[in-house]
Structure 1
Amino acid sequence: MAFTALPVPSQAQTFSFSNVSIEGNQRIEAGTILSYAGIARGAQVSGGELNAAYQRIVASGLFETVEIVPQGNTLVIRVTEYPTINRIAFEGNRRIKDEDLAAIVATQPRRVYSPSAAEQDANAIAEAYTQQGRIAARVTPKLIRRSDNRVDLVYEIFEGGVTEVERISFVGNTEFSDRRLRRVLETKQAGLLRAIITADTFIADRIEFDRQLLQDFYASRGYVDFRITGVNTELASERDAYFVTFNIEEGQQFDIGEISVQSDLPEVDTLLFRDAIKMKSGQTYSPSTIENEIARLERLGVQEGLTFVRVNPRITRNDRTQTLDVAFEMTRGERIFVERIDIEGNTTTLDRVVRRQFDTVEGDPFNPRAIRQSAERIRALGFFSEADVNAREGTTPQQVIIDVNVEEQPTGSIGFGGSYSTSNGLGLSLSFSERNFLGRGQRLSAGVSTASTNNNYSFNFVEPRFLGRDLTFGLGASYSATEQEYAEFDTGRGVFRPSIGFPVSDFGRLSLRYTLEYSDILNTDDGDAGQIIRAEEDLGERWDSSLGYTFSWDTRRDGLDPNAGVLLEFGQDFGGLGGDTSFIETNLRAVAQQRVWNEEVTLRATFEAGALNYTSGRSRVTDRFRLNDSTLRGFEYGGIGPREFNDAEDVDDSLGGNYFAVMRLEAEFPIGLPDEYGITGGLFYDMGSVWGLDDATTSTTTNDILYEDFSLRHVIGFSVFWDSALGPLRLNFSRPLVKEDEDREQNFSLTVSTEF
């Protein structure tokens, strides 16, 4: 016989409560707790539903402990409320101030304490330390119990040490050395000066920024196939240093091949647009060059009355010749207009300062490239810590709204500084500057500087968009009182100069100015001044009034070649618009720079010259050219040129000259020290002369006048450059090869300045 036992279904336990008792609540109403529990009186409730009610009350985040106890027909809910935060404090922090940490945490006093919120705040504080390179920082929230269910919330902080970048290396680079590539990066290696160099701190976000810098560096030099295959960051076993390795593939360098302009639009004259292109076949390919040409062609299209014409580059690759053919295709774009430009976040800066960075106004055709360029100009102002420019659809699909969201940052500063040079000695300075005066985008500065040989006072004001146009209006005033060391007299000189400048081409700029100048020669009786200086002092104070201009051509920053640049400046001042004299003063400066040997060495050639011709009146020592050690190294200020000399009467006065010419040739190169030290070396060869005096000047003395004629001096030497924590420092060691007997040598010169 067989017997089979059938299973009997079990019944889940259920509860039914006619009463609910809530215990332990002080601030929170019982009805609120019941709403979280979701249990109705008299309803059948299972054990699972009781557990769900428990979880809902816990999830509210209002209670430190929760307990649900069925007692017959009564459900007892016992809770312990989280305490109220009495105060928030920070302990152990030295690198970040309490007020800065208080701005990071979300928890506030007089609110209910939340463990999860406190933990999130601790993580946020630790992240702030991580951004400073202190990855070992730990933050622990602690509670100090007070009466009336209150607590003090204390964040105990262990800051830890700075995790530095011990070494930055590259794998796969053949065209550029590790040293050259490290100069591109924002992150620097740690070295002897790690206590004052903060760029050697490891910050993950900075490494990501360095990736983009490296990408841009190679792209601007024609390496279109360059890519970063990976960045390895290894933490040392002591957890105090990182080793960063960039794995890269350089690829081949490409030049620009054939250039053409193509269009299917009958109204487009392709020959006209082809002639407007500045880049040439054979030059190194660069994306920025292409962008500049596109902007130039689109501006020309607007001038020709072509609306909604877009320029799209089509690149054809020639691997055999390593060239890239560039065809600029001019097509008809979508008919989309700018509905309006909305600007938000500018609490100080006026709307018009931001708006004038746009070449586009309401109602113009929408050009995405022009909007991107406007966004870059807004960021370049330096008025905002954040500047986002975005386009969104307007009231119709054919319209867009440009949203500009900015965040202001401080633009003013007060500086206290010190300086030292072998020509002027020790000096102190006090300055004030504001780059966004009254939110109008104007620049205002004033300063006072004193040294052992001179005192200077200056005031400058610049309006970069005068009359709402691309005109720069400037107003400057200065006064200097000098105790001359090279001659037995003192001078006083004041200048008032309004000016206006404007661009005349992509690289050219013209400035016009009016100058009112006061000058005087003083205290010749206190020393052994010669007859010429005494006679010039007897002329008394003098006022000169002149109109002038300066034309400059500068390709050093915006040129097509990142390794070469040229600066040309030519200016003249015409005196005689009132005043006591009539004259023409001409100045010329030309600078050419080229990086060679994988950009490790910078070659620089500079030529400067000046001429002073009086048609009414005569020149004085305060007007004539006198060279200092920054113009011609190897000699004191006023150490060469015409001199009034009489050994018997102990007269040896530097008179300056009506003409000067100087050529400086120099090379700057690394000297084997780590780049983060900022120390480089240089060799230089200088040639120059100062000559020429008025006939009225030479006829006022019976003493000898030396070196009135052109006499070329030659100087050779070497320099040490140091971007130190005290400021840019330069040491020149020089030796004249060709000089005159009475020239005053200066074989060593040192300049350093800084502001605090």
Structure 2
Amino acid sequence: MTNKIRGRQTGLIGQTGKTHHIIAAFFLSIATAFAVLPQAVQAQNYRFTSVSIEGNKRIETGTILSYAGIARGQTVSAAELNDAYQRILASGLFETVELTPRGGTLVIVVKEYPTINRINFEGNKRLKDQDLEGFIESKPRLVFSPTQAERDAETIAEAYNQNARLGARVIPKVIRRSDNRVDLVFEIFEGGVTEIERIGFVGNRVYSDSRLRRVLESKQAGFLRALIKRDQFLEDRLQFDQQVLRDFYFSRGYIDFRTTGVNAELARERNGYFLTFNVEEGQQFRFGEITTTSEIPEAEAEEFQAILRIRPGVVYSPTLVENSIARMERYAIKKGIDFLRVEPRIVRNDRDLTLDVEFVLSKGPRIFVERIDIEGNATTLDRVVRRQFKVVEGDPFNPREIRESAERIRALGYFEKADVTAREGSSANQVIVDVDVEEKTTGSLGFGGSYSTDNGFGLNVQFQEDNFLGRGQRLNFTVAGTSGSRNYSVQFLEPAFLGRDVAFSFDIGYIETTGRNAYFNTEVANLGFGLEFPIGERSRLGVNYKLNATDISYDANFGQDTTPANGVRDCMEDGPAAVCLGDVIVSEANQGRRTKSSVGYTYTFDSRLTGLNPNSGVLFSFGQDIGGLGGDVEFLKSTAKVIAQTKVLNEEVTLRATFAGGMLNTNNGSSRVTDRFLFERDIMRGFAPDGIGPREVLAAEGVNDALGGNMFVTASLEAQFPLGLPEEYGITGGVFYDVGSVWGLDSGTQALSANIVGEPFDLRQVIGVSVFWKTPVGPLRLNWSKALKKRAFDKEQQFELTISTEF
């Protein structure tokens, strides 16, 4: 009978049990007797008048006897004696066990496993000791078990596998101490990260490998592999990748798409995987006939049919069907029809590749929401989660609405996970909705630096809390500065003002500059309040109040130079040639501090999320600010912008068009340079800040002041496309064409100087190329441009580096 613990391939080096020759010889003799004696001779039986336990120190004698299960005076066979041995050994409390019959006495000699004195981890860098201690079941002051130590080693190795380190090896070792104690040491070889070296597709004909790779959560390893963690191979991520592939094709009408298999081939060096997705795309289907039928008298099919937005010939998408169902359900609630169930019945037409959809209106089961239980939100208030539900206790239960509520909760960005499930309540017609969330950090403190040829080096410090005090509010503090400007701002947003779908915003800021032309300073203090609310499925309206105080001052280095021909100008005292401010800036600065008080509104229409085509969308905004409610200036300032985007050539190329314009009207020509539209890069590329528009120029005296204009208009056409580089680099290219103008001054302003240029409407034109780079610190855009049409006094800028914005 032998008790020997063998090490597994994880490298366990434990204790080897002692070979018990006496017991083995005893049972061997019993087996031999069965083989050589006549069958009439029966096996030897034993009857023990007493049982003696030896070697136990911590384990009670009664405990060992209970494992053995042999009572005094009981007749036992050799097989039953062996069973007793196995039960004692299986308890996991003893390193060795010996059972020896000595006449009428059964002697049981045991050697107890040592206790664990302490547990150490060696070689671990990626995972901390505290994390590893939580993974294992072996604990100090508990009995050491080689089997448990081996399982713990496997658990630690699996934890490293989840961190894409498939080559990790863990070896448990023991160090003997006095008093039958041991130190348990886990020697860890972490190995390198197992990356995804290549992602390929087999069977795709419509969409290229590069397009499909952009859909996946997993990414190929690139030269930024140290910063991009999605290139690590995680087996759990493959299931999600297959789901997003399916959603991608389904939303584009490929209803027969399926992934037939995913091959993950590990490199010989075990440091990289080669993934291959085997797919079947099928044919693209479009909507055919769209009809509505009603099985309940209070719901007229014609009324519900009229509110549908789907039209025949549009590429089929499950999202459009879901949106139509939601629209019908909302319309039913508006008409007072409860428990309306909308069932889409789809008929497939393989001949013309269309899908006929019949929306059937029927009465659903009378099931109500009993209550909504929220768990796991240690910081976030219950009401923040509850307001993502459009249903409350007592409302009819709608599974689709519960799914949408779950998506809204996840979209908040406050939780690592958010699970929403429904279960039966206190009765068959009651449902309890359970929300289980796990919070994550929502605050951030950011430090940034910048450099530009205009303002030199800059520093930006920003603190932002997206879930302020667990109320779902956003709070932002920003301090930014360059050699020529200072910017301080505080912004606050309450997305559900008074518990409704109304966003309340508040901001206060102070901006100080040393002059866009470096010859005069400006100080601007802002205070604003705003409310924004939906007025349609795709549109919102915002109203605001703004209070603005502006001051224009001279640089301290400027002196006075009286020039009869040109009036009074401020000029620099030092240098061989005086550099002076023009009459317009001097006149506007002499007006002192001015205050503007205005109310305004902004209308926004956005079809990007709810449009029929997932690859295109339009964003339109129009706003006006009306000044004169107090303050020193009466004005009307209007701005408008339209952005349209679509993807062509199997979504490889993105086309984008932007049109924008603005107009400022003031009473009695009282606008100043700080009120008018000054050229910015978001208006037109290819020129320096304030590089185009009206200016006051006196070359002989060094005057070249940008005055801004009362009107501007611009149009931009651009295309973004792949450059043939591996997509894991995140680098794409683009071309653009911009045309625009800033023009118009008040008559009073024009009368101040005869040296104003660029005041009439005059379109400038620019062409350029771009490089887009998605870096771990943010999307960057590099533009190289060339002005096709400009004026001699314009300031061109042929290169710029900016943060790319997504439409």
TM-score (norm 2): 0.90
> Does structure 1 retain, via aligned residues, the 8 Å contact 2:669–2:747?
no
By how many angstroms is 1:286 displaced? 0.5
Give SS of 2:121's match: strand
Give SS of 1:486's match: coil
> Is 2:764 the partner of 1:733?
no
Distance, in Å, in 1 between the alignment partners of 2:804 and 2:477 is 18
Query: Which of 717, 741, 766 does residue 715 from structure 1 map onto?
Result: 766
Gap change, CA 1:76 and 1:389, over 3 Å in 2: same
> Is 2:540 the partner of 1:488?
no
By how many angstroms is 1:717 displaced? 0.8
Query: Which of 682, 692, 696 does residue 640 from structure 1 map onto?
Result: 692
- Residue 500 of structure 2 aligns with which residue? 469
> Is 2:609 the partner of 1:557?
yes
> Is 2:402 the partner of 1:350?
no
Name the stretch that deviates more: 443-452 or 578-587.
443-452
> Does structure 2 retain, via aligned residues, the 8 Å contact 1:486–1:639?
no
By how many angstroms is 1:574 displaced? 0.8
Give SS of 1:576's match: strand
> Is 2:746 the partner of 1:694?
yes
Query: Which of 488, 491, 502 does residue 460 from structure 1 map onto?
Result: 491
- Residue 277 of structure 1 aligns with which residue? 308
- Code of the residue aligned with 2:238 in structure 1: it is I
Gap change, CA 1:8 and 1:673, over 3 Å in 2: closer
Distance, in Å, in 2 between the alignment partners of 1:470 and 1:684 is 38
- Residue 241 of structure 1 aligns with which residue? 272
> Is 2:184 the partner of 1:132?
no
Distance, in Å, in 2 between the alignment partners of 1:309 and 1:557 is 26
Query: Which of 630, 635, 655 does residue 707 from structure 2 map onto?
Result: 655
> Does structure 2 retain, via aligned residues, the 8 Å contact 1:726–1:753?
no
Gap change, CA 1:417 and 1:91, over 3 Å in 2: same
> Is 2:420 the partner of 1:389?
yes
> Does structure 2 retain, via aligned residues, the 8 Å contact 1:487–1:654?
no
By how many angstroms is 1:525 displaced? 5.3
Query: Which of 621, 626, 637 does residue 673 from structure 2 map onto?
Result: 621
- Code of the residue aligned with 1:603 in structure 2: it is L
Distance, in Å, in 1 between the alignment partners of 2:669 and 2:110 is 100
By how many angstroms is 1:222 displaced? 0.5
Distance, in Å, in 1 between the alignment partners of 2:179 and 2:792 is 93
By how many angstroms is 1:387 displaced? 1.6
Query: Which of 66, 88, 104 does residue 97 from structure 2 map onto?
Result: 66
Gap change, CA 1:418 and 1:557, over 3 Å in 2: farther
Distance, in Å, in 2 between the alignment partners of 1:662 and 1:491 is 27
Unaligned runs of 5+ in 2: 1-36, 559-579
By how many angstroms is 1:617 displaced? 6.6
Query: Which of 666, 670, 680 does residue 732 from structure 2 map onto?
Result: 680
Query: Which of 445, 450, 470 does residue 439 from structure 1 map onto?
Result: 470
Deviations 1:606-633 (A, max 9, x none): 0111111112671111111112233211
By how many angstroms is 1:533 displaced? 0.9
How do 1:314-463 residues align onto structure 2 when only pairs under 5 Å count?
A: 314-463=345-494
- Code of the residue aligned with 1:578 in structure 2: it is G
- Residue 3 of structure 1 aligns with which residue? none
Give SS of 2:588's match: helix
Give SS of 1:648's match: helix
- Code of the residue aligned with 2:653 in structure 1: it is V
Moved over 4 A (4+): none
Gap change, CA 1:590 and 1:169, over 3 Å in 2: same
Distance, in Å, in 2 between the alignment partners of 1:491 and 1:638 is 15
- Residue 649 of structure 2 aligns with which residue? 597
Distance, in Å, in 2 between the alignment partners of 1:753 and 1:83 is 63
Give SS of 1:514's match: strand
By how many angstroms is 1:109 displaced? 2.5
> Does structure 1 retain, via aligned residues, the 8 Å contact 2:669–2:748?
no
Give SS of 1:361's match: coil
How do 1:287-306 residues align onto structure 2 when only pairs under 5 Å count?
A: 287-306=318-337
> Is 2:124 the partner of 1:93?
yes
Distance, in Å, in 1 between the alignment partners of 2:758 and 2:651 is 42
Distance, in Å, in 1 between the alignment partners of 2:527 and 2:142 is 62
- Code of the residue aligned with 1:314 in structure 2: it is R
Query: Which of 714, 719, 728 does residue 667 from structure 1 map onto?
Result: 719
Deviations 1:614-662 (A, max 9, x none): 1267111111111223321111000000001111221110111111111
- Residue 162 of structure 1 aligns with which residue? 193
Give SS of 2:395's match: coil
Query: Which of 59, 69, 94 does residue 38 from structure 1 map onto?
Result: 69
Distance, in Å, in 2 between the alignment partners of 1:148 and 1:475 is 70
| Larger of the two Rg values belongs to structure | 2
Distance, in Å, in 2 between the alignment partners of 1:119 and 1:753 is 52
Distance, in Å, in 1 between the alignment partners of 2:341 and 2:452 is 56
Distance, in Å, in 2 between the alignment partners of 1:366 and 1:509 is 28
Gap change, CA 1:334 and 1:712, over 3 Å in 2: same
Gap change, CA 1:455 and 1:80, over 3 Å in 2: farther
Aligned-residue CA RMSD in angstroms?
1.9
By how many angstroms is 1:8 displaced? 4.5
How do 1:45-194 residues align onto structure 2 when only pairs under 5 Å count?
A: 45-194=76-225
Name the stretch that deviates more: 399-408 or 146-155.
146-155
Same amino acid, percent of matched pairs:
60
Distance, in Å, in 2 between the alignment partners of 1:111 and 1:577 is 78
Name the stretch that deviates more: 604-613 or 346-355.
346-355
Name the stretch that deviates more: 29-38 or 503-512.
29-38
- Code of the residue aligned with 1:642 in structure 2: it is P
By how many angstroms is 1:278 displaced? 1.6
By how many angstroms is 1:422 displaced? 4.1
> Is 2:664 the partner of 1:612?
yes
Distance, in Å, in 2 between the alignment partners of 1:459 and 1:21 is 82
Query: Which of 619, 629, 639 does residue 567 from structure 1 map onto?
Result: 619
By how many angstroms is 1:711 displaced? 0.6
By how many angstroms is 1:218 displaced? 0.5
Distance, in Å, in 2 between the alignment partners of 1:517 and 1:121 is 66
By how many angstroms is 1:457 displaced? 1.3
> Is 2:779 the partner of 1:748?
no
Distance, in Å, in 2 between the alignment partners of 1:224 and 1:681 is 32
By how many angstroms is 1:409 displaced? 1.5
Distance, in Å, in 2 between the alignment partners of 1:583 and 1:58 is 93
Deviations 1:64-109 (A, max 9, x none): 2222222222222222222222222211112222222233223332
Unaligned runs of 5+ in 1: 1-5
Distance, in Å, in 2 between the alignment partners of 1:560 and 1:84 is 68
Higher relative contact order (CA 8 A, sep 6+): 1
> Does structure 2 retain, via aligned residues, the 8 Å contact 1:582–1:616?
no
- Residue 9 of structure 2 aligns with which residue? none
Gap change, CA 1:179 and 1:282, over 3 Å in 2: same
- Residue 313 of structure 1 aligns with which residue? 344
- Code of the residue aligned with 1:600 in structure 2: it is E
Name the stretch that deviates more: 473-482 or 587-596.
473-482
Distance, in Å, in 1 between the alignment partners of 2:716 and 2:39 is 108
- Residue 289 of structure 2 aligns with which residue? 258
Gap change, CA 1:718 and 1:394, over 3 Å in 2: same
Distance, in Å, in 2 between the alignment partners of 1:106 and 1:436 is 37
Deviations 1:112-135 (A, max 9, x none): 223333222222221222122211
Gap change, CA 1:261 and 1:540, over 3 Å in 2: same
By how many angstroms is 1:189 displaced? 1.7
